[in-house]
A and B are shown apart, each in its own frame.
Chain A
Amino acid sequence: MRGDRGMAFWNKESKGGGATSEQVLDVLKNVQDPDLRKDIVTLGFIRNLKVESGKVSFDLNLTTPACPVKDQMRDQAVALVKALPGVEDVEIKMTSEVRQAPQLDKTALAGVRNIVAVGSGKGGVGKSTIAVNIAAALAQAGARVGLLDGDIYGPTTPIMLGVEQPPRNVGNRMIPQEAAGLKFMSMGLLVKSDQPLIWRGPMAHKALQQCLFDTDWGELDYLMVDLPPGTGDVHLTLAQAVPLTGAVIVSTPQDVGLRISMKTLRMFQQTRVPILGIVENMSYYVCPHCNSQDYIFGHGGGTRAAEQLGIPFLGEVPLDLAIRTQSDVGQPIVIAQPDAASARTLRSIAEKVAAQVSIRNFEAPVLEVE
């Protein structure tokens, strides 16, 4: 996806005085994508540029619809082009095209652009809540999103998304359920919710492979995989079976929670899965009566760990009663109460994840076997 890609669409003629296409592109080179650290012309983001008697229009084609700096880049582009002599009107259409992670096109999941794992060292840190809300927020922004609940022993996404019916089968493929604007698949859909799964490792491995490869995901920009806690069979299967774009680590601010999360992080590093960042959950408690913030598990643990490890810190999610109640009734808070403070935090985390995915896809080395 280099800059020369849009060339064919560029209208080189300039009619009626005004600015030329070259001049427009020239000033647009001053708009940087802060995440990819290149200008939007070189990145090939400008498409369908038209310059006609003082009226300039083009598409700004970003690498994700959930771009956190979308408005900033658009406003900057409008201001710069408007300042050109002879330009009266600027019209920018915001579009996006999520890039595919290298190698993924050669697997059975060729229609999936990116697979992102969400993991934690121990259970109970709110991993599934974070995964469901990130997925729903990305879908809300306009991306095509799937969610695979990889926690085969304690699947919770069917409850959080309010759909517990088993998926339909077409041929030998399962049709994922849909809720909150996303497609999802979970062992919880295949097994009665009060029945435990008592499996040894090889069964876990097979179950994950089936949910991953035998589900008809169709075209997806992001497939989020909610992992079970720890570093077990499911993690290893996932890291070996598919090229992951990256992993998000969820932790609590408490030191012990963080230290255990480090193990999960190291496992991803050993299998060369890029760490997209740390989300700190249950960061503080907002008193519903007086609105004061209480850092009951300590403060700043996640930020410090991220700094030490040189990985992005994605945000602090408060202990908010509404997140829990919305999860229990099967409606992620980013959809049910989009203006709540915790929903805004989760949306910002989702945007940062999307931005990190774009960065990885520009940086990732390509592995080829001949």
Chain B
Amino acid sequence: MIIWADGVESHYFAPRLRGLCPCASCKDEMTGVRIILPIHISDDLEFRKIEIVGQYALQFEWSDGHHTGIYTFEYLRELAEEK
């Protein structure tokens, strides 16, 4: 869950967030086409570690070992509002 500075609360489902990873091995850098989709991720996937990147993003380590995705705050907010 993220509590934003404007008071909005966003909840995230770990497997969906993992499936929407913005890193270059999950989403083609040139075409923007997704390589990994939420349907590829098993439902029991969990967060292992969360780190702040500078002051603009979060980086997650998942129980499948993947950790290269940098989720900007804009992207996280967007994902929460899509739901």
Interface residues in chain A, defined as those with a beta carbon under 8 Å from any beta carbon in chain B: 103, 239-244, 270-273, 365, 367, 369
Closest chain B residue to A369, Cβ basis: B50
- Of B5, B58, B70, B73, the residue contacting A272 (CB under 8 A) is B73
CB distance from B83 to the nearest CB of A (A): 21
- Of B55, B58, B73, the residue contacting A103 (CB under 8 A) is B55
Tell whether, in the assembled complex, residue A243 and residue B50 are in contact, meaning their CB atoms are under 8 Å apart: no
Q: Which residues of B contact A239 (CB under 8 A)?
A: 54, 56
Answer yes or no: B53 CB below 8 A from chain A CBs: yes
B51, B56, B57, B73, most chain A CB atoms within 10 A: B56
Answer yes or no: B45 CB below 8 A from chain A CBs: no
Tell whether, in the assembled complex, residue A240 and residue B5 are in contact, meaning their CB atoms are under 8 Å apart: no
CA distance A103 to B56 in the complex (A): 12
Answer yes or no: B24 CB below 8 A from chain A CBs: no
Q: Which residues of A contact B70 (CB under 8 A)?
A: 240
Interface residues in chain B, defined as those with a beta carbon under 8 Å from any beta carbon in chain A: 5, 50-58, 70, 72-73
Closest chain B residue to A243, Cβ basis: B55
Closest chain B residue to A367, Cβ basis: B52
Tell whether, in the assembled complex, residue B54 and residue A242 are in contact, meaning their CB atoms are under 8 Å apart: yes
CB distance from B6 to the nearest CB of A (A): 10
A-B contact count (CB 8 A): 34
CA distance A270 to B54 in the complex (A): 11
Tell whether, in the assembled complex, residue B54 and residue A273 are in contact, meaning their CB atoms are under 8 Å apart: yes
CA distance A369 to B57 in the complex (A): 12
Tell whether, in the assembled complex, residue B51 and residue A369 are in contact, meaning their CB atoms are under 8 Å apart: yes
CA distance A242 to B5 in the complex (A): 21
Q: Which residues of B contact A272 (CB under 8 A)?
A: 54-56, 73
CA distance A369 to B51 in the complex (A): 7
CA distance A24 to B53 in the complex (A): 46
CA distance A101 to B52 in the complex (A): 15
CA distance A273 to B53 in the complex (A): 12
15 more contacts with CB within 8 A, not counting A103-B52, A272-B55, A369-B52, are A240-B53, A240-B54, A240-B70, A241-B54, A242-B54, A243-B52, A244-B55, A270-B56, A270-B72, A271-B54, A271-B57, A272-B56, A273-B56, A365-B5, A367-B52
Closest chain A residue to B58, Cβ basis: A369
Closest chain B residue to A272, Cβ basis: B56
CB distance from B57 to the nearest CB of A (A): 8
Tell whether, in the assembled complex, residue A244 and residue B54 are in contact, meaning their CB atoms are under 8 Å apart: yes
Q: Which residues of A contact B57 (CB under 8 A)?
A: 271
Q: Which residues of B contact A367 (CB under 8 A)?
A: 52, 55
| 3 residue pairs, one from A and one from B, having the closest CB atoms | A272-B56, A271-B56, A239-B54
Tell whether, in the assembled complex, residue A273 and residue B52 are in contact, meaning their CB atoms are under 8 Å apart: no
Closest chain A residue to B5, Cβ basis: A365
CA distance A239 to B52 in the complex (A): 11
Q: Which residues of B contact A244 (CB under 8 A)?
A: 54-55
CB distance from B8 to the nearest CB of A (A): 14
CB distance from B61 to the nearest CB of A (A): 12
CA distance A369 to B76 in the complex (A): 15
CA distance A270 to B55 in the complex (A): 10
CA distance A359 to B41 in the complex (A): 44
CA distance A239 to B51 in the complex (A): 14
Tell whether, in the assembled complex, residue B54 and residue A243 are in contact, meaning their CB atoms are under 8 Å apart: yes
Q: Which residues of A contact B51 (CB under 8 A)?
A: 369
CA distance A103 to B54 in the complex (A): 9
CA distance A165 to B51 in the complex (A): 37
Q: Which residues of B contact A273 (CB under 8 A)?
A: 54-56
A-B contact pairs, 13 of them (CB 8 A): A103-B55, A239-B54, A239-B56, A240-B53, A271-B54, A271-B56, A271-B57, A272-B54, A272-B55, A273-B54, A367-B52, A367-B55, A369-B51
CA distance A139 to B17 in the complex (A): 46
